[in-house]
Amino acid sequence: MRNQASRAIFDYWINLKHDGAVPLKTEIDPTALRHLLPHLFMAGFDPAGTLSFRLAGTRICDLFGREFRGEPLAGVWQEGDHRQPVEIAHNVIQSQQPALLDVFASNGEIRHAYEVLLLPIRSVETTASDRIFGALLPQFSPYPVTAMPAVFLALDNWTFLTGSGSHFGVPLTGDRRSPQQMHGRLPPSRRPL
């Protein structure tokens, strides 16, 4: 992770885990991450089984010049290039393993490096993870106003994140295999729980 804010969000998520179980949505305290709220989002399955944005922070909406609530997660990716990022997100939920994606936010002419952090969470006490708590942060510097709005994200690289403790000062490990290699084939769709 290049952005220290991504590390802070990941550490916050790690510290909410209980006996290996991913955190509940209700355990996430917005005041604990108040300075990062504009960069955060939540995604879950809609009634049709499509992974869609539930919430998106103001910096994310400003970056693209539109509201994301209710929009499919696939809609933020470059046209024709959304399959792998959506598969990764499905695997984050299914395997309950976080992922970090290196992406470019682009308006079709100019592109800037960002990172997307995908963390699995649960909406109710008794189920496995069924949502994503995520962040979209610039890797190095803020997106310039002159290049806004971005039209899409393009995937550059990604990794599943491993480990169980705080990662400040600890080497971060990952696995760059495809989602299928990591966890087998995904079901064609997933219904909300």
Instruction: Identify the three-state secondary structure at position 98.
Output: coil
H helix and E strand count, the chain: 4, 7
Instruction: Identify the three-state secondary structure at position 129.
Output: coil
pLDDT of residue 147: 64
Token pair, residue 174, equals 């990952």
pLDDT of residue 107: 92
Asked if 135 and 116 count as a contact pair (C-beta separation under 8 A), the reply is yes
pTM above 0.85, yes or no: no
Is the Cα torsion angle 39, 45, 50, 54 positive or negative in sign?
Answer: negative
| Structural domains for the chain | 4-182 (3.30.450.20)
Token pair, residue 23, equals 């955190």
pLDDT of residue 79: 86
Residuewise pLDDT in 10s, the chain (193 residues):
888 999 999 999 999 987 778 999 999 999 999 999 999 999 999 999 999 999 999 999 999 999 999 999 999 999 889 999 999 999 999 999 999 999 999 998 889 999 999 999 999 877 789 999 999 999 986 666 666 799 999 999 999 998 654 443 333 434 444 555 444 443 333 333 3
